[in-house]
Amino acid sequence: MADKLHFALVSPERELFNGEVDHVVVPGSEGEFGVSPNHAPVMSVIKPGALKVFNEGNVRRIFVNGGFADVTPEGLSVLAEEAVDLADIDPAKLEQDLKNAQDDLRDASGDAKRAAAQRALSRLETMKAAMAR
């Protein structure tokens, strides 16, 4: 289909999406960029944020935490370090996870533990921000 974009999203755990869509907005390291059918080839590092998949008037939002996006004449492939469909996230559980991560950071002793706790907290804060948009 010339008017559709082939899009594949893969994380280490599983393939989250593989099919034809109208448009995808990717949170690239240089800023968000949209990919439509017949887009010019490009490769980009992905920053944590919401990947938006547009198809027939519907928008599916997927949190991605790092990875790469590759646009070729065949379509868009995203290899994400982590990918979670935002529709599957329980807001109450996310709030509790945020509180726990803040406690973990406050209680962390040593540089390595503090850095790991900060990364976990940053991931959850970015996920919460992605849900709010």
Residues 70 and 16 in one domain: yes
Q: Decide if pLDDT at 133 tops 80.
A: no
Instruction: Encode 109-120: b = buried (16+ Cβ within 10 Å), e = exposed.
Output: eeeeeeeebeeb
Amino acid letter, 61: R
The pTM for the full model equals 0.86
pLDDT tens-place string over residues 64-84: 999 999 999 999 999 999 999
> Could you give the number of structural domains in the chain?
2
Residues 28 and 65 in one domain: yes
Q: Which of 86, 120, 85 is nearest to 106 (CA)?
A: 120
Instruction: Output the pLDDT for position 108.
Output: 86
Residues 64 and 94 in one domain: no
> Within 10 A of 59 (CB to CB), how many other CB atoms are there?
12
**Encoded tokens for 126:** 């970015």
β-bridge pairing 58-64 and 31-35: unpaired
Residues 82 and 95 in one domain: no
Q: Decide if pLDDT at 28 tops 90.
A: yes
